[in-house]
Chain A
């Protein structure tokens, strides 16, 4: 079975250890033995929500707040720029969620 890693027991996200399609994935690390049903394909290194995370709730990885949910996130959903924002870095909210490419500087 494809695998993802939950680093800290307090974490509400896990990190993909390979590119995975929408399928059932084994959770390694903290709370090992659990599994999570992905709602969409998630790439290596990207994160899946292990629980429902309501808008404005913290996203936890390494046991610390790495960002704030910018909308309601369902269990099994991909957690990234489209639904999670930094508490300090405003510019990252304007980047393309897949490529990370900026769109705010004109090339004219």
Chain B
């Protein structure tokens, strides 16, 4: 989907330098990632990263392990924006930090690990961790191969949360128009929230690129419906209603706009790497198994981490009512369609798409401006969430049938 028809002049220049990884992918950041393998190790992990530049933390709280969570941590450890990995365990949990470090090392990244119980306790573990992080950062900087990047090297995710009616009128349509520009320039775009496509089965069918994609999209949609019925919760919140959204069907139409209007190439699951250029749908809904679906998708942060897990180097977050969150690994760029929210929360919002609602801008020109901003962030300019130190993450127990992590050719 790079035929250039109707795409006009391509867009903002992509002239930034990225970090080339051994798998051929390119990152826009070079983070050291600290990963804890049980909640008992989380304080030590956070203290290791505290005050260190370019060091971020993720982790899994459970003592009993979970295949989905392990896949997710490995996908994040091998993310293009990650240059090195330190895995920290307490010492008696199921999830194995040694194997996380080994997987990261096998991907060409400097990686180390240790158990807190073997280092003597909190202070000595933090000291050990800070020393290791310093070594890893130096190695990651030395190993970094800087290469020019183009739009075709970029995967961008889109999520929406704290939605109001402006999200469907301005915020999501502008992100959708930017997705069109990105896809036409050879890039990869991914959006999710199939639970916010309830009511749109017919629309989804017409958007699939081919028969295979159509089958995947319908399966994901039908599962989302069964899931919402099963957990007795549709993806619509008190803030959405207060903001003027009356039904999940209305919210779905507004949310779907962030996917733009290019064909959907297929469906990926959490931690599965997007195989080729174009627009992709991420299915983060649990699969049915012996414990049923589990519980409802908990929050915006989980969706954003899922988008990062499929390879997004940058995520756009559309929020009409406003939000302050950020994300680890991939910069989070916050877009609002509500000018009042943009003014009230200017320290957190990065982009105001609401100007098109009072005639100051159009969808097309706002999408170009957003593309310029994405290029600047890709080149290293921090988003507001990055400047403020936001690194929220959420890795939960969940069941998804094991996907092949390399999705292969879906054409």
Q: How far is the CA of A16 from the CA of B279 in the complex (A)?
A: 32
Cβ-neighbour of B232 out of A61, A84, A87, A91 (below 8 A):
A91
* Chain B, residue nearest A64 (CB): B253
Which A residues touch B234, using CB under 8 A?
A: 86, 88-89, 91-92
B257: nearest chain-A partner, CB-CB = A62
Q: Are B249 and A45 in contact, with the CB atoms below 8 A?
A: no
Nearest-CB residue, chain B, relative to A29: B169
Q: Are B248 and A99 in contact (CB under 8 A)?
A: no
Q: Which residues of B contact A66 (CB under 8 A)?
A: 199, 246-247, 249-250, 253
Binary interface profile of B, 185-209, with partner A (CB < 8 Å = 1, else 0)? 0000000000000111001000000
- What per-residue 1/0 map shows which CB atoms of A44-55 lie under 8 Å from chain B? 111100000000
Residue A9 is within 8 A (CB to CB) of chain B in the complex: no
Nearest to B164 among chain A residues (CB) is A45
B interface residues, how many (CB within 8 angstroms)? 36
B121 near A: Cβ within 8 Å?
no
Q: Is A41 an interface residue (CB 8 A)?
A: no
Cα–Cα, bound, A100→B237 (Å): 8
CB under 8 Å from chain A, chain B span 352-376? 357-358
What residues of B have a CB within 8 angstroms of the CB of A62 in the complex?
A: 168, 250, 253-254
Find chain A residues with CB under 8 A from B237 CB.
100
Closest beta carbon of chain B to A59's beta carbon, Å: 8
B238 interfacial by beta-carbon distance below 8 Å:
yes
- The main secondary structure of chain B at its interface with chain A is helix
Whether B228 contacts A88 by the Cβ 8 Å rule is yes
Residues of B within 8 A of A80 (CB): 241, 244, 246
Instruction: Indicate if B166 sits at the interface (CB-CB under 8 A).
Output: yes
Query: Are the CB atoms of B242 and A98 closer together than 8 Å?
Result: yes
- Is A43 interfacial (CB 8 A cutoff)? yes
Contact B239 A100 (CB under 8 A): yes
Chain A interface size band reads: 35 or more
**CB proximity to B under 8 Å, residues A8-62:** 15-17, 43-47, 59, 61-62
Within 8 Å CB of B242, what residues of A? 98-100
Within 8 A of A (CB), among B205-257: 225, 228, 232-234, 236-250, 253-254
Contact A47 B246 (CB under 8 A): yes
| B245 (CB) vs chain A CBs: closest residue | A45
Q: Which residue from A43, A46, A84 sits with its C-beta under 8 Å from B247?
A: A84
The reply to whether A17 and B358 form a contact with Cβ atoms under 8 Å apart is yes
Q: How far is the CA of A7 from the CA of B250 in the complex (A)?
A: 12
Give A80 to B242 CA distance when docked, in angstroms.
Answer: 10
Q: Contacting B165 at CB < 8 Å: which of A15, A97, A98?
A: A15
Distance of A87 Cα from B166 Cα, bound (Å): 23
Known A-B contacts A5-B169, A88-B199; A64 and B240 likewise in contact (beta carbons under 8 Å)? no
Inter-chain contacts of B245 with A (CB < 8 A): 45
Q: Does B340 contact A (CB under 8 A)?
A: yes
Once the chains bind, are B238 and A102 in contact (CB under 8 Å)? Answer: yes
Complex alpha-carbon distance, A78 and B242, angstroms: 13
**Which residues of B lie under 8 Å from residue A87 when comparing CB positions?**
199, 247, 249
Instruction: With both chains docked as a complex, state the minimum distance between the C-beta of A67 and any C-beta of chain B, in angstroms.
Output: 4
The distance in angstroms between the C-alpha atoms of A92 and B169, with both chains bound, is 22
Q: Which of A60-96 contact B (CB under 8 A)?
A: 61-62, 64-67, 79-81, 84-89, 91-92, 95
If A17-B357, A46-B165, A91-B233 touch, whether A67 touches B241 (CB-CB below 8 Å) is no
> In the complex, what residue of chain B is closest to A67 when comparing beta carbons?
B247
Residue from B247, B340, B357 in contact with A92 in the complex, judged by beta carbons closer than 8 Å: B247
The CA-CA distance from A43 to B240 in the complex, in Å, is 13
Chain B contacts for A79, CB-based, 8 A: 246
B278 within 8 A of A: no
Contact of A99 among B198, B238, B247, B253 (CB under 8 A): B238
A88 in contact with B244 given A45-B166, A100-B237 (CB within 8 Å):
no
Collect the chain B residues with CB atoms within 8 Å of residue A1's CB.
none
- In the assembled complex, the CB of B199 is this many whole angstroms from the nearest CB of chain A, namely 7
Q: Tell me if A100 and B241 are in contact (CB < 8 A).
A: yes
CB nearest neighbor in B for A46: B244
Additional pairs, 16, CB under 8 Å, beyond known A80-B241, A84-B246, A100-B237: A15-B244, A16-B244, A17-B357, A45-B166, A61-B253, A64-B199, A80-B244, A86-B249, A87-B199, A87-B249, A88-B198, A89-B247, A92-B236, A95-B238, A95-B241, A98-B242
Give 30 A-B contacts (CB < 8 Å), ordered by A residue. A7-B169, A15-B169, A15-B244, A17-B357, A44-B340, A45-B165, A45-B245, A45-B320, A59-B246, A61-B253, A62-B168, A64-B249, A65-B249, A66-B246, A66-B247, A66-B250, A66-B253, A79-B246, A81-B241, A84-B247, A85-B247, A86-B246, A86-B248, A88-B248, A89-B234, A89-B248, A97-B241, A100-B238, A100-B240, A100-B241
A-B CB proximity, top 5 nearest: A100-B241, A45-B165, A45-B244, A100-B238, A66-B250
